[in-house]
Amino acid sequence: MTIDTAELLAIARDAARHTGGFLLHERPADLGVAATKSSPTDVVTEMDTAAEKLIIERIRAHRPHDGFLGEEGDASEGTSGVRWVIDPIDGTVNYLYDLPGWCVSIAAETAEGTLLGVVEVPVVGETFHAVRDGGAFRNGKPIHCRPAVPSARALVATGFGYTVERRTRQAEAIAALLPRVRDLRRAGSAAIDLCSVAAGRVDAYYERGLNPWDVAAGALIAREAGADVVVDLWPEADGSTMCVAAPAALRAELQTALAALHA
C-alpha cells in the first residue's frame, strides 16, 4: 500500500497543534491527579486522558484503518500498515505544576520503523518535526545537533524514573557523572530533551526507563538532526532500557562512561 508521507505529516501536525492548544488554553486552574501508574508520583491527569482521546479522534477521522499506541492505554492494531505512537502530554508532572516543559508527541511508524515525528511545545510556540531521511525542523527551519565535544565540555540532559529503587541508582550514577561533564539539565520531558539535542541546545541526553511513546518522535527528530540515538541499550529484568542521544563521538564516550557507572 502506498503511503502518502506528506498527508501523514499534515495530519500529525494538525493533531499536535490542535491538542496543544486545548492543553494550553483549557487547563483547569484546579488541575489535580486523576490516577497514578508505576508509583505514587507517576501521575495521570484528566487532561492526559482527554488529550489522547482528542488526538486519536482527529487522526482516525482521516485514517480510520491505522493502528494506535498511546501512553494512556489506547492500543489498537490497524490494517493499513501505519501505527501512531502517542504521548499526549510528555512532561506530565510539569503540566500538573503549570511549568512550561511539556509537549505533545506524535509519531507514525511502519514495519520499517518510525516514518515521521512531531513534537509540539505549546508554551514556547515551538513545533519540531522530522520525516525519515528528510531532515529535522523547528518551526519549519532546519536544525542540526552540535558538533561532538569531549564529555568534560558536554551539557548533558537526563531524567529520572519514578520508583525509589531506580532513583537511588540514578542518583549514584549522576553523582559520579556530574564532576566529569560541563553540567546537567533535567527538563522533565524526554521528547523535549531529544529535540534539545536536535536543536543544539544540549550536547547529549541519556535516560533509562523510557517508554516507546516518550521517544518515538523525538528520537527520529534527533537522528534527522545528525545525532546518534540508541534507545534499547542494556535491557534489565524490569524491561527497562537505556536511551543515549548525542553526536556520534560524544555518544560513544558518554555510553562508555555510563557503562562504567552501571547506569
Residue 207 as a binder of ligand LIP (CB under 6 A): the answer is yes
Report yes or no: 135 and 145 within 8 Å, Cβ to Cβ. Answer: no
Report yes or no: 132 and 116 within 8 Å, Cβ to Cβ. Answer: yes
- Smaller CB distance to ligand LIP: residue 117 or 188? 188
Residue 109 as a binder of ligand LIP (CB under 6 A): the answer is no
Q: How many residues bind ligand LIP (CB under 6 A)?
A: 12
Residue 92 as a binder of ligand LIP (CB under 6 A): the answer is yes
* 214 annotated binding-site participant: yes
Q: Which three cell numbers stand for residue 197?
A: 539535542
Which 54-83 positions form the footprint of ligand LIP (CB under 6 A)? 71
Which 139-158 positions form the footprint of ligand LIP (CB under 6 A)? none
In the sheet that holds 228-233, the strands lie side by side as: 183-185, 155-158, 204-208, 242-246, 228-233
Question: What 8-state DSSP symbol labels residue 161?
Answer: -
- CA separation for the pair 57, 48 (Å, rounded): 14
- Smaller CB distance to ligand LIP: residue 54 or 63? 54
When CB distances to ligand LIP are compared, the closest residue is 159
Sequence-distant (6+) residues with CB within 8 A of 73 are: 52
- Smaller CB distance to ligand LIP: residue 159 or 247? 159
Which one among 136, 190, 202, 250 touches ligand LIP, defined by CB under 6 A? 190
Q: How far is the CB of 94 from ligand LIP (least distance, A)?
A: 7
Sequence-distant (6+) residues with CB within 8 A of 235 are: 241
Which residues contact ligand LIP (rule: CB under 6 A)? 71, 87, 90-92, 159-160, 188-190, 207, 214
